[in-house]
Structure 1
Amino acid sequence: MHRLNRRQVIATALACPVAGTARAQDYPARPVRMIVPFPPGGPTDIVARPTALLLGHALGQQIFVDNRGGAGGSIGADFVAKAAPDGYTLLMGTVGTNAINGALYPRLPHDPIEDFTPIASVASAPVAIVVHPDAGFATLASLVAMAKAAPDAIQYGSAGAGTPGHLAGAMFCSTAGIGMQHIPYKGSAPAITDLLGGQIKVMFDPLQSVLPNVAAGKLKALALTSRQRSPLLPAVPTVSGSGWPHFESTAWWAVFAPARLPAGITTRLRTALEKIVRSDDYRSKLGNVGVQPLSVPLAEFQKSETAKWSVAVRNAGIALE
C-alpha cells in the first residue's frame, strides 16, 4: 500500500508540469477580455484597440476591449488585480495605473507591482510643454528665466491633479529650480480652451492632446519631455536638449495580467506582443497622433518609473482619496 501511494505521488508529480504545459499550449481556448481603465475614445482606448486586434490575430482568438473607467484608472486596474490568473483577463495598464497611483492614492486597494504580472510594454507618448503664441516665451529657457524672476506668478494647466502632465510639470519645476502655480482641470479639453483664451500661460499635457492646435499654429510647443524629438514635430526640441540633461517624463502603456500568471501563458503573450509592437502594421494603426511603439523590459521599466514618479508625487505634495 505504501509502495502504491509512493508511485501515485511520483506519477502525480511528473504529470503536473505536463498538465501545465498543455494548458499553456491550448491557451487561449476562448475569448480574452482586455480591461481599459478609462472611458472609450481616450488615449488609453486608442492604444488598446489596435493592440487587442493584432493580439487576437496572433493568438487566433478574439481579444475584446472592456472599458471600466474611474478613480484615475484604479477601478479597472483593481478588477484585473483580483481576477483569476488564467490569461483571460488582461489590463491595458498606464503610467498612471502601474507607476503613479501607488503613491498618489494612499488607500489603493491593490499593489500596482505585486498584484500584477508584467507582460509587455506597447506604446509611449511625450508630454508637451505648450504656450499661447502671444505668451512671450520664445523658448523653454525664456520661460524658466521669467519664472525665476517672478516665482509662482506663472500658472500652468494640466488635465488634472496627479496626471502625467501635472507631475511632469512638478518634476520640471524641481529640475529647473523654479516655482509655477499648478491649475488642475477636469480633462485636457477645458485646459486647452483656457490656454487658447489666454486664461493660463502654459500647459503640460501628452502630445496627442495638443498636437492639432500646435499643428494649426494656435499653440506653440516649447519642448517635449521625451529623450528624442518627435517625427511629427521635428523642429521642437526636447527638455534634455534644451539645457536640462537627463530629464525624461513620458506617458506609457503596457499589458499586465493578474499576479501568478502561469509562465507558459506569460511567455506566449509576451512573445506575441513584442512581435506586434515591432511591426509596421502596429505603428500604422496607432496613427499620427504622437503615440509611438515602446518595447522595453517591462518589469524593470515599471520599477524604475514607479520610483521616479513617487518622487514627483512627493515633491508635488499631493494625495487623492
Structure 2
Amino acid sequence: MDTTLDRRSVMAAALAMLAMPKLALAQDWPAKPLKLVVPQPPGGGFDFVGRLLGERLSRALGQPVIVDNRSGSGTVVGTDFVAKAPADGYTLLVGSVSNLALNMGLYKNLPYDSLRDFEPLGLAVAYSYTLMARKDLPQGTLKDVVAFAKANPKKLNYASAGNGSGQHVIAAALWQQAGVELTHVPYRGAQAAYQDLLGGRVDLFFDLSPTARPQVVAGNAKALAVSGASRLPTQPDVPTIGETGVAKLELESWFGLFAPAKTPPAVLERLRAELAKVIAMPEVMDSFVKAGGKPLALSQSDTHALVRKDVERWSRTVRELGIQPE
C-alpha cells in the first residue's frame, strides 16, 4: 500500500475543505445591504463621489448600498469606524487624500493607519481645488489678495472644512509659500463653510472644484485660482496657482473606495471588478468631467503605489506646516 499517496490524498481533501468556505463566501456574497461611509456631512466632495458610485454599485451587486454620513473630528470618526468594522465586505469607505494622507501627518495618535488598515478597491477621480472669494471682496485676483495680505497681516480670513482638511492644507501651504498671514476659520464640514462664505462672513475658501463650481457659476462667489497643474475645461478663465506667479503649488485630491484590510480576497476581487465597471460607465465619467474632475483608470498595482506615495508625501507636508488638530 502506497502510504505516500494516501497522505497526499488526505492533504488534498483537507485543503479542499478549507477552501470551501471561501468558495461559498464568493458565491453567497453579498447577502445583505452594504454600508458606504462618507466621513463628512452631506454636500461636500466626499458625499458627491460616494453617492454617485454607491448608487451604481448597488445595481451591480444586487443589494442596496446605503450611504452613511459619519462625520466628526474632521474625517477621523467615519474613517476609523470603517477601519474597525468587520472585514466582511459589508462596510466600505470613501477614501481621499484628506482622510488617508493628510490625517496621517495631522494626528500624533491617529486611531488608524491608512496603509495598514485599508485595502484600496479603486480610485475613481481626481479633483483640483478652487480658491473662491466672497462675491463682494474688493480684491479680484489671487495676486491682489496676496498684496493686500502682505500690507495687512491677518486682516483677511479663510474658511476650511476643519483643521487638517484638504481645504485647510492647500490654503496653509499657499499662504506660507506666498509669505503672508491670514486668519484661519475652521468649520465642521464644507457646507457650514459655504454658508458663511456666501453670507459674506468669511473672505476666502478653497474647496474641491465639483462643489465650488456651482457657486461660482451662480455668481455667489468668485473664483481666483485652481490648484491643479492645468486649467479646468469647465473653468477655462480661472488660472492655476502657478500661472498667477504667487507660488509653485499643485494639489489634486483623488477619491475612491476602500475596504478594511483583512477583507477576504474573494470579496475584494468581486468589489474591485464591479467598481471598475462602475467607474468606466460613460455616465459616471461624464458626471466627474462636468464637475471639473479627472476620471482615473488605474491598475491595482498603480492604485496601491499612488496611495502610498501620497500618504507619505502629504503627511510629511502637514507636519512641516505645523498644522495641529482642533
TM range (shorter): 0.7 to 0.9
Q: Which residue of structure 1 lines up, in the alignment, with residue 129 of structure 2?
A: 127
2-structure distance, mates of 1:158, 1:144: 18
Residue 211, structure 1, aligned to residue 213, structure 2: yes
**1:145–1:245 Cα change, 3 Å:** closer
C-alpha displacement at 1:275, in angstroms? 2.4
C-alpha displacement at 1:269, in angstroms? 1.6
**1:237–1:85 Cα change, 3 Å:** same
Gaps of 5+ in 2: none
In the alignment, is the contact (CA less than 8 A) between 1:106 and 1:320 conserved in 2?
no
Q: Which residue of structure 2 lines up, in the alignment, with residue 89 of structure 1?
A: 91
Residue 263, structure 1, aligned to residue 268, structure 2: no
In the alignment, is the contact (CA less than 8 A) between 2:33 and 2:64 conserved in 1?
yes
In the alignment, is the contact (CA less than 8 A) between 2:279 and 2:285 conserved in 1?
yes
Please give the residue correspondences for 1:179-258 in structure 2 after superposition, counting only pairs within 5 Å: 179-196=181-198, 198-243=200-245, 247-258=249-260
Moved more, 158-167 or 63-72: 63-72
**1:119–1:229 Cα change, 3 Å:** same
In the alignment, is the contact (CA less than 8 A) between 1:106 and 1:319 conserved in 2?
no
Matched residue type, 1:213? Q
2-structure distance, mates of 1:105, 1:98: 12
**1:11–1:187 Cα change, 3 Å:** closer
* Deviation by residue 1:152-203 (Cα, 9 ceiling, x = unmatched): 4433222322221111101222333443332223444554454455554332
In the alignment, is the contact (CA less than 8 A) between 1:188 and 1:209 conserved in 2?
no
Q: Which residue of structure 2 lines up, in the alignment, with residue 114 of structure 1?
A: 116
Q: Which residue of structure 2 lines up, in the alignment, with residue 78 of structure 1?
A: 80
* Deviation by residue 1:290-312 (Cα, 9 ceiling, x = unmatched): 45544443322222222232233
C-alpha displacement at 1:255, in angstroms? 0.6
Q: Which residue of structure 2 lines up, in the alignment, with residue 162 of structure 1?
A: 164
In the alignment, is the contact (CA less than 8 A) between 1:123 and 1:294 conserved in 2?
yes
2-structure distance, mates of 1:68, 1:266: 23
Matched residue type, 1:280? P
In the alignment, is the contact (CA less than 8 A) between 2:122 and 2:275 conserved in 1?
yes
Show structure 1 runs of 4+ deviating over 6 A.
none
In the alignment, is the contact (CA less than 8 A) between 1:213 and 1:219 conserved in 2?
yes
* Deviation by residue 1:203-252 (Cα, 9 ceiling, x = unmatched): 22223443333213342211111233223322112223434786322343
Q: Which residue of structure 2 lines up, in the alignment, with residue 49 of structure 1?
A: 51
Q: Which residue of structure 2 lines up, in the alignment, with residue 298 of structure 1?
A: 303
Residue 313, structure 1, aligned to residue 315, structure 2: no
The one of 120, 144, 147 aligned to 2:146: 144
2-structure distance, mates of 1:53, 1:273: 11
2-structure distance, mates of 1:198, 1:73: 26
Taking structure 1 as the reference length, the TM-score comes to: 0.84
C-alpha displacement at 1:53, in angstroms? 1.9
Matched residue type, 1:46? F
Q: Which residue of structure 2 lines up, in the alignment, with residue 8 of structure 1?
A: 10
2-structure distance, mates of 1:295, 1:244: 32
In the alignment, is the contact (CA less than 8 A) between 1:58 and 1:272 conserved in 2?
yes
**1:295–1:152 Cα change, 3 Å:** farther
The one of 92, 98, 101 aligned to 1:99: 101
Residue 67, structure 1, aligned to residue 37, structure 2: no
Q: Which residue of structure 2 lines up, in the alignment, with residue 176 of structure 1?
A: 178
1-structure distance, mates of 2:90, 2:220: 45
Please give the residue correspondences for 1:15-34 in structure 2 after superposition, counting only pairs within 5 Å: 15-17=17-19, 20-21=22-23, 23-34=25-36
**1:65–1:219 Cα change, 3 Å:** closer
In the alignment, is the contact (CA less than 8 A) between 2:174 and 2:247 conserved in 1?
no
